[in-house]
A and B are shown apart, each in its own frame.
Chain A
Amino acid sequence: MSQDAPKRGEFEELAMPLFDSLYNFARWLTQNREEAEDLVQETYVKALKGFSSFQPGTNFRAWMFRILRNSFLNSRTGLAARMTVGIEPEEEENIAGADRHTPETILLERINHEAVAEAIEQLPVHYREVLLLCDVEELKYQEIAETLSLPVGTVMSRLSRARKAVRECLEKKSGVKSGSPPERSVAGKSR
């Protein structure tokens, strides 16, 4: 029996439980059902082919997401998305400053999922992917950095900007204006 057989068994065992997550991520990246299906299939084919080069002990989940994301970037839709990245300003800047908000946005709790989904859809793909990997797939910053081949600092600043954009979109939808920074209050001194 070839040594490949147990390898393939192991691949199946590791890779198939990720199917739903990979499909979900592919749908968000491509925003198209057929393209997402092709992308997931391509990911599995490439991953199976390259499984012998996968280093046991490293993060398989991040590895699979990286293959999917790289395949996407090489697709027609992905190439178009990449073109828009170049005109975005450099992300490395004050993260805290990008997160100013009004306390009224606590209304978020009552905003429906459809509005949030629309806000995510409207994000440029390089913000969308980092937000989904963090909040939906619950990858750690380091794992996201490995998946996207980015420094952790860039992951954090993109994440911050993505959230800011989602929040502003929701504020627009709910009619809440994002204005000046919240009035600072100190326990026992205000309210």
Chain B
Amino acid sequence: MPESRDEINLLIMACELWREKIGAFVDSELSSEETAELNAHLRGCNSCAAEIVERLQLKRVTQAAGNRYKYEAPLELRKRILQNVATKKQRFWGWNWVPALAAAALVLLAVLLYPALKPQPQAPFRELADIHTATLASTNPLDVISSDKHTVKPWYQGKLSFSFEPPELKNTPYSLLGGRLAYFQQASGAELLCQYKQHRISVFIFEDRPEWKWKPGTTASVLRPTGLSVESWSQGGLRYVVLGDAAPDVIHNLAEMWKEAAHV
């Protein structure tokens, strides 16, 4: 933490240099060395941290709004384009039209079913990863600061349309730091910040929606390219996402505690 005027002046000069690179940081375009240096700078600079929070939020809302036409593409157009490709293909297969037709039908079926069958995108996780990063970069990350679940849980009363049961983390390697309201795809939910050693982990809870496409699987995995570990599940109509820079097994163990608490 800077103490003298000289140290503060040095920090301000560093800010001027970093300001030019904050956009690249938000777009994950900085090298790992530069990212580490900027992270070190952010620990002592509220001004740059606030700017990053705002940039991440802008990127997130742009991404959400920018996808507005993505799944509106007319089925007719898709068919027409596919037909254009498939018809020409049949010509090359000549007399062997039966397997060609069958293959074309399969391809058509696959394309028609593609939106339903394609691998679940990581987009929702990336959005939550941005919220998590913004929370950590924020100077006032939490709305309620307490390690006591009996203080944190009641704070959400009247602020959310659902309730949840946090696990008791006392006498575990994890601790509760507090909570805040989080906004995700125009829904409000809870973000609870937990700590494991020096790692801070966000637990997001929202009312689950069928239109949300989540990556399947129950064990924690690494979210590329963020390097964060993530685990998500649906329980009692709520969607839980545990996310942080700790190892996948650390995330998984915390997720198990939340599942057990929600089950009781």
Contact = CB atoms under 8 A, between A and B. Distances in A.
Partners in one complex: yes
A99 B77 contact: no
Contact of A188 (B1, B61, B140): B1
A19 B70 CA distance: 9
A103 B139 CA distance: 12
Interface size class of B (residues with CB under 8 A): 35 or more
Interface string B34-55: 0000000001111100110111
B81 A108 contact: no
Interface string A72-105: 0000000000000000000000011001010101
Interface string A36-53: 110011001100100000
B11 A186 contact: yes
B12 interface: yes
Interface string B60-94: 01111111111111100110111011101100110
Contact of A11 (B57, B66, B85): B85
A111 B57 CA distance: 10
A37 to B, nearest CB: 5
A73 B92 CA distance: 34
A111 B64 CA distance: 12
B33 interface: no
A95 B22 CA distance: 10
The residue among B59, B67, B73, B84 with the most chain A CB atoms within 10 A of its own CB is B73
Interface in A146-191: 156, 159-160, 163, 166-167, 182-191
A44 B111 CA distance: 15
B164 to A, nearest CB: 21
Nearest to A185: B46
The residue among B43, B47, B84 with the most chain A CB atoms within 10 A of its own CB is B47
Contact of B81 (A4, A20, A41, A186): A41
Given A20-B73, A23-B72, A116-B65, A191 B46 contact: yes
A188 B46 CA distance: 9
Interface in B162-177: none
Given A16-B82, A37-B77, A186-B11, A24 B54 contact: no
B262 interface: no
27 contacts: A4-B92, A8-B88, A11-B85, A20-B71, A21-B70, A23-B72, A24-B70, A27-B69, A40-B77, A101-B51, A108-B57, A113-B64, A113-B68, A116-B61, A116-B64, A117-B66, A131-B66, A132-B66, A136-B67, A141-B29, A156-B24, A159-B27, A163-B62, A182-B50, A186-B47, A187-B44, A190-B46
Given A41-B80, A182-B47, 14 more contacts: A16-B111, A20-B70, A23-B70, A40-B81, A96-B20, A99-B22, A105-B54, A111-B61, A113-B65, A159-B23, A186-B11, A186-B47, A187-B1, A187-B45
Interface of B: 1-2, 8, 11-12, 15-16, 19-20, 22-24, 27, 29, 43-47, 50-51, 53-55, 57-59, 61-74, 77-78, 80-82, 84-86, 88-89, 92-93, 107, 111, 114-115, 118, 139-140, 183, 186
Interface of A: 1-2, 4-5, 8-9, 11-12, 16-17, 19-21, 23-24, 27-28, 36-37, 40-41, 44-45, 48, 95-96, 99, 101, 103, 105-106, 108-114, 116-117, 120, 131-132, 134-136, 140-141, 156, 159-160, 163, 166-167, 182-191
Shortest beta-carbon contacts, A-B, top 7: A136-B66, A23-B73, A116-B65, A27-B69, A96-B19, A24-B70, A185-B46
